[in-house]
Amino acid sequence: MGKSWTSCLLVLFMWTCLGAQQMEDALSFQFTHPLYNVMIYENSAAKTFVECPIKMGIFMTNQSWDIWYIIESGDHDNLFKAEKYVLGNFCFLRIRSKGGNSATLNREVKDHYLLTVNAFERHTGAETQTQVKVQVLDTNDLRPLFSPTTYSFFIPENSAIRTSIGRVFATDADTGTNGEYYFSFKEWTDMFSIHPTSGVITLTGKLDYSEVALYEIDVLAVDRVLKLYGSSSSSSTAKLKVHVLQANEHAPVITAVPLTTWNVTKDPTYAYVTVEDADEGQNGEIASLNIVAGDPLQQFKAFRTNPGSKEYKIRAIKEVEWEGYSFGYNLTLQAKDKANPPKFSSAIVVRVRSPNKYTESPTFEKSVYRVTLSEFAPPRSPVVMVKTVQKHSKIKYLLQFKMQQHENPFVINPNTGLITTVAPVKAESVCQYEFDVVTSDRQAVAKVVVGISDVNNYAPVFQKSNYEASIAEHVPIGTSVLTVSATDKDDGENGYVTYSIVNVNKQPFVVDYFTGVINTAEDIDYETMPSKFSLRIRASDWGSPFRREAETVVSIALTNLNDNKPHFENIDCDVTVPRSLEVGEQIIVVSAIDTDDLGIVQYRIDTGNNMNLFELDSSSGVLTLKKSLRDGDAAKQSFHRLQITASDGEISSTPMFLNLTVVSAFKHVRSKCAETGVLRTLAGLMLFGSKRHSQKEAEDEFADIHSVNRHTPRFIESTPTVIEVKEDLPVGTSVALLRAADSDSGLINFLSFFPNKNK
């Protein structure tokens, strides 16, 4: 009995210990986190494991555990499989993609999954659960697509360059940089450009409808990432059609002729209207002519005279209500062309008068007459003709000046309305005249504005009547000699002055057109040029209607420099000298010439006279025997070579050589030299220089016959002295032809005719 109780107690104790151990194992059988965030790329290959930044699984507190993982829910497409991997005391949960399934991970379809994973321990039956959030990452698996794939844009041919004509659109279902793309044209064109990111298409060339009316262009949307790796499927194409619309450059122009004495019979025509449009084709066709104002009762309408015609008649569409409109109706007309978009003409007003109001109050053709009159206009010059629209024989015209601010040099013909001048006008005094023209009944008034245009009144004036200067020869080209200056009292361009050299012969000087600075234009040589130049400098203004000019004389004297070296007439002389020649007798004369005004030349023996046998006169160049050739060492030497140099005091010549041969057979000196020709050259220079130095410029005595007004105009003998005119002769009819002549030439030969106000 005692043993039975002991056995029972032992079994109970072991059972209790085992239960406590199972309870402890059950409490430690847990995932490390209740939720795991993992990642996997879409389109991943089969058996690709998800990535998790932390350990995912269960710590094995009991090494005898046999743990299994099963995906309980969240994987409706059966894309994932859970696996275990035991390492040490940790059983990793690994989730991978399945193979052999047509379904694949596609972020564009579903970008995340929430999986419920259960863990089981086979021996103890323990169970636990966690959740795994699978984030599907994007790969660049899609190319951009256009929506739509065809675009049509319309643009007028006169559109300005850089005008945006439209935009294309594309989408890429990828995200981030994988979803970025850019636009481009498949083939290069200089007429259009496309923004690489926005797809806005811009005009970059000048359109011409007559040359190209339709442009067809392929537009590419290229995936940026795939393009880097040269993928052929990285782009999609859309068709772009750009239609060039013919420009509607001109608006219609209305010309209306109201009929003031229209026929009061049935269906009268109140006005004829012509509508013109300078455009070609449909843009130049007239769509309609409408009455847009002035017809509150809608009684009038514009009818086209013929189909397609541009002429219209203004007629009534019902009986016109004249009562209450005794002065008639002012119909405002506006035309529209057939362009798209259309252009409208300027509105014009056509007055339809009541049949009881055939006589109208006078009105001038213009409310303001603006004219410009030149200062050169002589007295009795026509200014402007003012007229009333109505032709009444009793209408007279009068000038009405404002308060006497200045004298008004104008009169008007009361019958014709022609305004003329009675005195000269000067812009310096009054630059603009304003006055009114009224009819004799004081019912109509118009304003006249006469602007006086300034003309070229004054000629330039030099500060000096003549200028003098001197300059050394051979100064550098471009050396300034002096500056001439002239001023002009006129304003604006009439007072601008430019300078020029007007000598007939070319001069070695130039003058700056704007500053008046005179510079050398070529090398100046005193020996070959005149010693004094007389330049005729002309100052011209920029005047209108003609320019005025003035001239002055600039005298420039050349200063001679010592710039030439002496030259021997003869060189390389072979001289035979008898040994019996007496001391002091002449052997030979050397001669050198300096072209610098025939300067004084000095001679000297440089070498060869070591025995001092010879003497050379420094001034005359005469070589004489200084010591006897028969005595001492001289008697032993039969050849001497002398080197002789000529100098003008500053510059030495090229040396010449005398070869002296002493002989006993001859009694006279004999010599033979080579001529240099310098004497002939000098003679030519002297002859040329004498002519140039004494030459007087022909233009110095030349007077510009085109600028001197020597003669007065004279009427030719056939000019009539009495002219008879009929009283009903229309205004503007030619009644006589007057002819005169002037013997001057140039602009002063032009004549103008005007009546003599003193006769």
CA 31/CA 53 separation, integer angstroms:
15
Handedness of CA 349, 350, 355, 360 (dihedral sign): positive
CA 87/CA 83 separation, integer angstroms:
13
Quickly name the fold that domain 368-453 has: Immunoglobulin-like (2.60.40)
Residue 614, CA atoms < 13 Å, CB-side half-sphere: 29
CA 312/CA 305 separation, integer angstroms:
5
382-385 β-sheet, strand order: 382-385, 418-421, 410-412
Is residue 168 a contact partner of residue 240, using CB atoms and an 8 Å limit?
Answer: yes
The dotted CATH code for 461-559 is 2.60.40.60
Residue among 417, 356, 418, 420 nearest 390 (CA): 417
Query: Which parts of 382-496 are beta strand (E)?
Result: 382-385, 397-400, 410-412, 418-421, 432-439, 445-453, 461-462, 466-472, 480-483, 486-487
> How far, in whole angstroms, is CA 710 from its chain's centroid?
49
What pLDDT score does 263 carry?
53
Same fold, 461-559 and 567-683: yes
630-660: b (≥16 Cβ within 10 Å) or e: eeeebeeeeebebebbbbbeeeebebbebbb
Query: Which parts of 298-367 are beta strand (E)?
Result: 300-304, 311-316, 329-337, 348-352
What pLDDT score does 285 carry?
85
Is residue 120 a contact partner of residue 75, using CB atoms and an 8 Å limit?
Answer: no
CA 32/CA 132 separation, integer angstroms:
12
CA 284/CA 246 separation, integer angstroms:
11
The CATH class for the domain spanning 567-683 reads: mainly beta
CA 294/CA 331 separation, integer angstroms:
4
What pLDDT score does 699 carry?
44
CA 74/CA 95 separation, integer angstroms:
13
Q: CA distances (Å), 231 to each of 44, 144, 224, 227, 691, in order?
A: 19, 13, 10, 6, 91
Quickly name the fold that domain 145-245 has: Immunoglobulin-like (2.60.40)
As averages over each run of 10 residues, the pLDDT of the chain (759 residues) reads 62 57 65 91 84 90 88 87 89 86 78 90 89 86 84 88 91 78 89 90 89 91 68 76 85 84 65 86 84 87 87 86 79 87 87 65 88 86 88 79 75 91 84 88 88 84 91 90 91 88 92 93 84 91 84 90 80 88 87 74 87 86 86 83 85 86 82 81 63 50 54 78 77 81 69 62
Question: Helix H segments across 595-665?
Answer: none
Is residue 604 a contact partner of residue 647, using CB atoms and an 8 Å limit?
Answer: yes
CATH number for the 253-352 domain, one of 2.60.40.10, 2.60.40.420, 2.60.40.60, 3.30.70.260? 2.60.40.60
Ordered by start, the domain boundaries in the chain are 2-137, 145-245, 253-352, 368-453, 461-559, 567-683, 701-759
CA 720/CA 735 separation, integer angstroms:
11
CATH number for the 2-137 domain, one of 2.60.40.60, 3.30.465.10, 3.40.190.10, 1.10.10.10? 2.60.40.60
What SS3 state is found at 683?
A: helix
The pTM score is: 0.38
What pLDDT score does 261 carry?
54
User: What are the phi and psi torsion angles at 440 (to 5°)?
Assistant: -65, -25
What pLDDT score does 703 carry?
47
DSSP 53-100: SS--EEE-SSTT--EEEEEEES-TT--EEEEEEEETTEEEEEEEE-SS
